[in-house]
Structure 1
Amino acid sequence: MSGDVARVAELLGQRNRIDEKIAEIIQRPMAGGHLGEWITARVFNIELEPSASRAAIDGRFRTGALQGKSVNIKWYLKREGLLDMTTAGSLDYYLVLTGPAGVAGSSRASSRPWRIDRVYLFDAEQLCADQRARGVQAGTAASVPRRWWDAAEIYPRASNPLLYVSERQAAMLELFQPG
């Protein structure tokens, strides 16, 4: 038993050293939200808000058809059909990175690897209106119907024409897939 504790402590020490190196690069504490925002800003040319504590809006698109539009960025390590939503009227889009599809059942002995399998772009106003019509409250872990996820996908499948993923952007996203 104490051998397991020592091994976990050793592994956390290694992870802490890696997290420190990542924090040096992204200039924010190593956390899923900060790292997802940093990656997304570089892949999709988004100017992040100067303060990471601004409610609802993480940044704005710098170029393209969405130039100047506000965005809330999420990175979920599993794709489970849930989205942390806000009712902030000033938000234009949610840009969501996800890992592999989650499987219903126990999470015992499983992991949530840091990877990007899919990217979605949701129109915040339209999604909020649909959620209200279905009687779903905005907030943490709001259930979003699969049809919305399918229509919002921009990578690897281009279902949403609002944001085109170039070959260069796709190559950057592929860096975050296993092997």
Structure 2
Amino acid sequence: MSADLEQIAGLLQQRNALDAQIAAVIDRPVTAGHLGEWIAARVFGVELERSATAAAIDGRFTSGSLQGRTVNVKWYPKRENLLDFTESAALDYYLVFTGPVSPAVSSRGGSRPWIITAVYLFDAQRVLGDLRAQRLKIKSPASVRAAQWEAAEIFPRANSDLLTVDPEQARLLRLFAPAASSAP
């Protein structure tokens, strides 16, 4: 038991050192939220809010057909068809980075590597309207139907016409793909 604790302590020291290096680049603590927002800013031209605690909105698109529109960025290491959402009328879109599709099952024996295998763009008010139409108690996170996820996909498949991922953006997103030898 002591050897296990020593191993974990050593691994956490290594992880903390890596997190400190990443935090120095992104200028925020290393969380999926902060890192996802930083990636969105660089890949999709999102100008982030000055405060990381801004309610409902992480930033605004700075160019293209969505210029000036508000966005909330999410990064889920696995796509379990759940979406943390807000009922704010000020939010236009959710930009969601995910790892592989995975059923919501026990995490025992698994891992959640920080990878991006797909990107989705949801119309925030449409998602909220769909949830209300289901007449279920609205709570966050909410289960979003698989068909809605498929329709919102902008990378690697272009299923949505809300935003087109250009070749350079696709190249940048592929940097976060799983390594061939460690693909889940």
TM over 0.5: yes
Cα root mean square deviation, aligned: 1.0
Q: What is the rounded CA distance, in whole Å, between the counterparts of 2:19 and 2:43 in structure 1?
A: 21
Aligned to 2:13: 13
Q: What is the rounded CA distance, in whole Å, between the counterparts of 1:89 and 1:104 in structure 2?
A: 29
**1:129-166 alpha-carbon deviations (Å, 9 max, x no partner):** 11100023444220001111011000000000110001
Aligned to 1:40: 40
Secondary structure of residue in 1 paired with 2:66: coil
Q: What is the rounded CA distance, in whole Å, between the counterparts of 1:138 and 1:5 in structure 2?
A: 41
1:86–1:138 CA contact under 8 A, matched in 2 = no
Question: Counterparts of 1:58-69 in structure 2 under 5 Å?
Answer: 58-69=58-69
Cα distance change, pair 78–14 in 1 and its aligned pair in 2 (3 A): same
Q: What is the rounded CA distance, in whole Å, between the counterparts of 2:104 and 2:66 in structure 1?
A: 35
Alignment-mate amino acid for residue 158 of structure 1: A
Aligned to 1:57: 57
Q: What is the rounded CA distance, in whole Å, between the counterparts of 1:68 and 1:137 in structure 2?
A: 32
Q: What is the rounded CA distance, in whole Å, between the counterparts of 1:75 and 1:94 in structure 2?
A: 10
Aligned to 1:78: 78
Alignment-mate amino acid for residue 102 of structure 1: S
Alignment-mate amino acid for residue 119 of structure 1: V
Cα distance change, pair 137–23 in 1 and its aligned pair in 2 (3 A): farther
| Displacement after TM superposition at 1:104 (Å) | 4.6
Q: TM-score, normalised by structure 2?
A: 0.95
Alignment-mate amino acid for residue 115 of structure 1: I
Q: What is the rounded CA distance, in whole Å, between the counterparts of 2:69 and 2:130 in structure 1?
A: 21
2:59–2:70 CA contact under 8 A, matched in 1 = yes
Structure 2: gaps spanning 5 or more residues = 180-184
Aligned to 1:107: 107
**1:94-123 alpha-carbon deviations (Å, 9 max, x no partner):** 000000111353321210000000000000
Aligned to 1:162: 162
Alignment-mate amino acid for residue 164 of structure 2: Y
- Tell me the number of residue pairs that the alignment of Structure 1 and Structure 2 aligns: 179
Identity across matched positions, percent: 56
Aligned to 1:30: 30
